[in-house]
């Protein structure tokens, strides 16, 4: 630390001083998820009315960006997100947030190829500087290094509570490349360690757990389903499991501490739990901190289907909003309303299917409540504005509480039949009628 102490001191700023580098017309990018820079965000909001046409880009910040609230007329700031959080959704309802579509694994080379405007100012949260002058990207490796390479100015918001996430690669930046340093001691965002799973989700988990074998390599998304799957694995005889997952989840910590996860059967990063970002409880962050059992990589490596497929028995478990009778999957919108984002679902679906002995599972409860009424998640066709996250030719296993339907290699009429069989019984007759009207399938006359 003493080697770089004077340089650190010379670059140390208050948040208000640091954001003065932002000029009208600039592109400002934030760190992702729990590493979005909260102190710098608040300071930037104070410049509403002073600057104009500043475009802010984030990826699922876990707080409401203050510049948006400070400038609802969007004269100073326009805000976009690469994956909607609940906060982003509420802002979008007021036309204050815009979505940036992309497969998550594409984002580093989108930045490096200049397909999106390079950041004039990049603001990221990091761990404190180490003795060699490096700041660790902590829980959000993702596309951070690619953004650093392209940015004109880099400001780090140092937080002593951020866990040190070992790599991997491209998971830290040297002080020589940094223009400003801000210190913040506020606790980073946490989620509950466990989600309350519904009875339907528990049945879905039971269907999936029957397909997992010893030595499998797991990828889970966020929510109640991974939590209950983790509990079932903990109660099972499964062993020598590995982790190669976009997101590092709390349930992985439980399984590791119970000896279920060893990584010994992995072909790549043997013995290590590999991921690109982590969001969860303080216990999860404490587990990641300086732990050689974990390895943080940039998202273009973690989400690369060919790399995913290098580990045998890769299991990908992700959620969906709707599936139509053709086998198309919508995991990110409700008609014209953007809910979340494309993320890495398609990439892990492909990678798991290419893996030797692997499988992908797209999961959803058979029904949901919409406008006060219960509706089927399996629909005859998508309504206008609905986004296809996974095209039908890439989809394998669709799972509801009523079973698993494997779409791969099936003709259209058989896909419809399989999906109707796992739909809620109350909606099956309507789906049969719709399939017939669409000339997909009827029980008495199969039409390809």
Per-residue pLDDT at 225:
81
Residue 290 backbone phi and psi in degrees, to 5: 55, 30
Looking at the chain, the domain(s) classified CATH 3.40.1080.10 span: 2-184
Enumerate residues 6+ apart whose C-beta is below 8 A from 318.
219, 221, 331, 345, 348, 349, 360, 361, 362, 363
Per-residue pLDDT at 191:
86
Per-residue pLDDT at 226:
80
Looking at the chain, the domain(s) classified CATH 3.40.1080.20 span: 199-437
Query: How far apart are the C-alpha atoms of 225 and 243, rounded to whole Å?
Result: 17
CATH superfamily of 199-437: Acetyl-CoA hydrolase/transferase C-terminal domain (3.40.1080.20)
The string of DSSP letters for 277-338 reads EE-S-HHHHHHHTT-TTEEE--HHHHT-HHHHTTSTTEEEEEE-SEEETT--EE-SEETTEE
User: Contact 264/216 with Cβ under 8 angstroms?
Assistant: no
DSSP 188: P
> Based on C-alpha coordinates, what's the Rg of the chain?
23
Rounded-to-10 torsion of CA 340, 372, 328, 379: 180
Per-residue pLDDT at 227:
79
Query: Measured in Å, how far apart are the chain's first and last C-alpha atoms?
Result: 69
Per-residue pLDDT of the chain (448 residues), as tens digits, is: 578 999 999 999 999 999 999 999 999 999 999 999 999 999 999 999 999 999 999 999 999 999 999 999 999 999 999 999 999 999 999 999 999 999 999 999 999 999 999 999 999 999 999 999 999 999 999 999 999 999 999 999 999 999 999 999 999 999 999 999 999 999 999 988 777 788 999 999 999 999 999 999 999 977 778 878 888 898 899 999 999 999 999 999 999 999 999 999 999 999 999 999 999 999 999 999 999 999 999 999 999 999 999 999 999 999 999 999 999 999 999 999 999 999 999 999 999 999 999 999 999 999 999 999 999 999 999 999 999 999 999 999 999 999 999 999 999 999 999 999 999 999 999 999 999 999 996 555 554 4
Per-residue pLDDT at 444:
54
CATH 3.10.20.30 given to domain 2-184: no
Is 258 strand, coil or helix? coil
Q: Strand pairing of 359-363 and 397-400?
A: parallel
Per-residue pLDDT at 6:
96
Q: Which residues are catalytic?
A: 246
User: Contact 192/227 with Cβ under 8 angstroms?
Assistant: no
């Amino acid at each position: 630390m003493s080697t770089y102490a004077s340089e650190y001191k010379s670059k140390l700023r208050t948040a208000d001083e640091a954001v003065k580098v932002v000029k009208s017309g600039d592109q400002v990018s934030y760190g992702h998820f729990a590493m979005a820079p909260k102190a710098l965000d608040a300071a930037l909001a104070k410049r509403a009315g002073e600057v104009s046409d500043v475009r802010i880009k984030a990826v699922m910040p876990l707080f409401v960006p203050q510049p948006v609230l400070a400038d609802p007329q969007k004269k100073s700031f326009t805000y976009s997100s690469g994956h909607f959080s609940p906060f982003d959704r509420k802002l979008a309802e007021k036309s204050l947030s815009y979505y940036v579509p992309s497969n998550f694994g594409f984002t580093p080379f989108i930045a490096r190829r200049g397909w999106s405007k390079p950041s004039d100012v990049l603001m990221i949260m990091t761990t404190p500087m180490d003795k060699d002058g490096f700041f660790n990207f902590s829980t959000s490796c993702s596309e951070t290094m690619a953004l650093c390479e392209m940015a004109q100015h880099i400001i780090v918001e140092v937080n002593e509570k951020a866990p040190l996430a070992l790599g991997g690669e491209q998971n830290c930046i040297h002080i020589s490349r940094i223009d400003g340093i801000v210190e913040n001691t506020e606790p980073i965002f946490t989620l509950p360690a466990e989600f309350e799973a519904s009875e339907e989700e528990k049945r879905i988990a039971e269907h999936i757990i029957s397909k997992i074998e010893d030595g499998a390599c797991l990828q889970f998304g966020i929510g109640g389903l991974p939590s209950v799957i983790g509990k079932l694995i903990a109660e099972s005889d499964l062993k020598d499991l590995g982790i190669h997952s976009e997101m590092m989840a709390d349930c992985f910590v439980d399984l590791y501490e119970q000896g279920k996860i060893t990584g010994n059967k992995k072909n790549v990063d043997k013995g290590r739990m590999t991921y690109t970002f982590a969001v969860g409880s303080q216990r999860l962050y404490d587990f990641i901190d300086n732990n050689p059992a974990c390895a943080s990589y940039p998202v273009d490596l973690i989400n690369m289907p060919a790399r995913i497929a290098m580990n045998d028995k890769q299991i990908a478990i992700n959620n969906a909003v709707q599936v139509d009778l053709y086998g198309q999957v919508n995991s990110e919108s409700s008609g014209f309303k953007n809910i979340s984002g494309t993320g890495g679902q398609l990439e892990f679906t492909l990678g798991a299917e290419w893996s030797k002995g692997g499988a992908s599972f797209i999961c959803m409860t058979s029904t949901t409540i919409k406008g006060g009424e219960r509706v089927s998640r399996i629909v005859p066709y998508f309504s206008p504005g609905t986004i296809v996250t996974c095209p039908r030719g890439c989809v394998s296993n669709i799972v509801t509480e009523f079973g698993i339907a494997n779409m791969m290699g099936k003709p259209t009429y058989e896909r419809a039949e399989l999906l109707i069989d796992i739909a809620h019984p109350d909606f099956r007759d309507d789906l049969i009628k719709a399939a017939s009207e669409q000339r997909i399938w009827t029980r008495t006359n199969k039409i390809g």
